[in-house]
Amino acid sequence: MQDQLAKPEPTVSVPSRGRPWAGVIFSLLVPGFGIARGGHLGRAAAWFLGLQAGTVVVALGIALEQIPFGVAVGAAVCWFIAFLVMIYQSYSPGGMSGKHWAAFVGLLALTVVVRPPAYFVVHPAPMIR
């Protein structure tokens, strides 16, 4: 009886739903998608749109001569910190269903084919006369 009390109970590990590093890779390709892979679609959409808006703010800070360069650099540093936080949150287990893969491929194609919003700040359309 004493031997049974002295033996530690075996630990049971819960298998993860996927590789956490995959979420980081997905988020590097499509911002926020590693978070969506973990099941947090609203937070992923907020990260995607927020980082896109951040690139516009940084581009405006650089393109507009009225804004001091230090403010533009500060905006770029804030954007980079936000990007790192998004990558950190993407490091989580998750899974990819068929719908996830379709959304990922669609968003990846969209981000490759369509120019980012910041492009139009730096390269405005020519005036038609």
**DSSP secondary structure, 6-63, as one string:** HSPPPP-PPPPSS-HHHHHHHHHHSTTHHHHHTT-HHHHHHHHHHHHHHHHHHHHHHH
Q: Dump pLDDT digits (tens) for 66-118.
A: 888 899 899 999 999 999 999 999 998 888 888 889 999 998 998 888 888 88
% of the chain surpassing 90 pLDDT: 42
Q: Dump pLDDT digits (tens) for 115-129.
A: 888 888 777 777 666
* Residue 12 pLDDT: 47
Question: How far is it, in rounded angstroms, from Cα 111 to Cα 29?
Answer: 9
* Residue 13 pLDDT: 41
Question: How far is it, in rounded angstroms, from Cα 72 to Cα 78?
Answer: 10
pTM for the structure as a whole: 0.73
Q: Which residue has the higher pLDDT, 1 or 15?
A: 1
CB 34, CB 92: distance < 8 Å: yes
CB 62, CB 122: distance < 8 Å: yes
* Residue 64 pLDDT: 85
- Half-sphere exposure of residue 81: CA atoms within 13 angstroms, side-chain side: 6
Domain ranges for the chain: 31-98+106-120
